[in-house]
């Protein structure tokens, strides 16, 4: 379920690891054509991020570019493929973090931002704040020259039908959330040639969510964390549990204060702590030495890595 130990040579290690969501993902639920689409888009995201790193670009740019490609795809629950809220809107959260400076930026509940991770980076670099939400975040985006998109840009028939099923299923029940476990939050972590780590996450939230719910994808401690002393982490899954466990930061803390390896810290975070709370999901991570790993407690997770002197690798099911 995990990949570890990048190949060390005289060259400084660098590379990128991505995810496109964890959940109930099995071969019986995906057609060969759909699987090919997912693999193609994940490879595209990996290659775009890696190209930046290979040409001495920074890890922040690589993470942002890889996430942009997944945000622009209708396959994932971020950007174009975002799910619908209780009132039939698309509402998105994102976060990005620089492991060298520990600066971070995030946005929540935005409805007209084509690439929410881009706005999160502007929050990090152009304001004194960490998190902007809703209309205020969109006003800031316009002031920064970002063009807002019409709400119908985010419409996909797949997500609309998912929303309709959720509305129908909620009748006579206490729950209002859709429990289709094929969530598609996207994220990336990267290490550049200068040894700088970065992480980013972008999500459309949960189908049929209401009451202004915001998940973990807008939190640098829960879903997104990067620190050059240890690691970079991006999570995906049922956000409330990642918030309670402070998962992304906790992995850093286990490495920093207990001396655990990346693999040990990630396994403990997912299979001991998150699972004990009843949470489901997974994450990808890379450390300052170029070791990388992923882990999940679901039936699958869209994921891939492209490390120095290797080829891009993409996986979907539990292997």
Q: Which residues are catalytic?
A: 185
Residues whose CB falls within 8 Å of the CB of residue 217, separated by 6 or more in sequence, listed in order: 93, 94, 95, 185, 201, 202, 203, 205, 223, 224, 239
Rounded CA-CA distance 64/209 in Å is: 26
Q: Which of 65, 49, 128, 63 minimizes the C-alpha distance to 98?
A: 63
Neighbours of 203 (CB within 10 A): 34
3-class secondary-structure state, position 89: coil
Contact between 303 and 45 (Cβ < 8 Å)? no
Q: What is the CA radius of gyration of the chain?
A: 18
Neighbours of 215 (CB within 10 A): 24
Rounded CA-CA distance 5/287 in Å is: 10
- Output the CA–CA distances (angstroms, integers) from residue 80 to 84, 114, 224, 244, in the order listed: 11, 7, 21, 28
Contact between 1 and 318 (Cβ < 8 Å)? yes
């Amino acid at each position: 379920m995990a990949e570890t130990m990048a190949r060390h040579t005289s060259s400084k290690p660098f590379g990128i690891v991505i995810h496109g969501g964890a959940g109930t993902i099995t071969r019986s639920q995906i057609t060969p054509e759909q699987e090919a689409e997912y693999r193609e888009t994940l490879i595209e995201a990996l290659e775009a991020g890696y190209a930046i790193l290979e040409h001495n670009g920074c890890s922040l740019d690589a993470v942002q570019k890889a996430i942009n490609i997944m945000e622009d795809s209708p396959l994932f629950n971020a950007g174009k493929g975002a799910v619908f809220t209780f009132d039939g809107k698309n509402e998105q959260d994102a976060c990005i973090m620089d492991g060298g400076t520990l600066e971070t930026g995030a946005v929540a509940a935005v409805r007209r931002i084509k690439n929410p991770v881009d706005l999160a980076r502007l929050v990090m670099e152009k304001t004194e704040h960490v998190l902007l939400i809703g209309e205020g975040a969109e006003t800031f985006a316009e002031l920064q020259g970002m063009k807002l998109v019409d709400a119908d840009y985010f419409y996909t028939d797949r997500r609309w039908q998912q929303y309709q099923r959720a509305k129908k299923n909620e009748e006579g029940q206490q729950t209002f959330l859709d429990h289709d476990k094929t969530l598609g939050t996207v994220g990336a972590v990267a290490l550049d040639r200068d040894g700088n780590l970065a992480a980013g996450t972008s999500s459309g939230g949960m189908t049929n969510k209401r009451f202004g719910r915001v998940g973990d994808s807008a939190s640098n401690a829960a879903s997104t964390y990067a620190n050059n002393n240890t690691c970079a982490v991006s999570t995906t899954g049922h956000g409330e549990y990642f918030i309670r466990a402070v998962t992304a930061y906790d992995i850093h803390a286990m490495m920093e204060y207990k001396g655990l390896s990346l693999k040990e810290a990630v396994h403990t975070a997912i299979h001991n702590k998150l699972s004990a709370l009843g949470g489901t999901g997974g994450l990808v991570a890379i450390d300052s030495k170029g070791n990388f790993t992923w882990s999940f407690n679901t039936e699958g997770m869209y994921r891939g890595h492209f490390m120095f002197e290797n080829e891009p690798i993409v996986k979907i099911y539990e292997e």
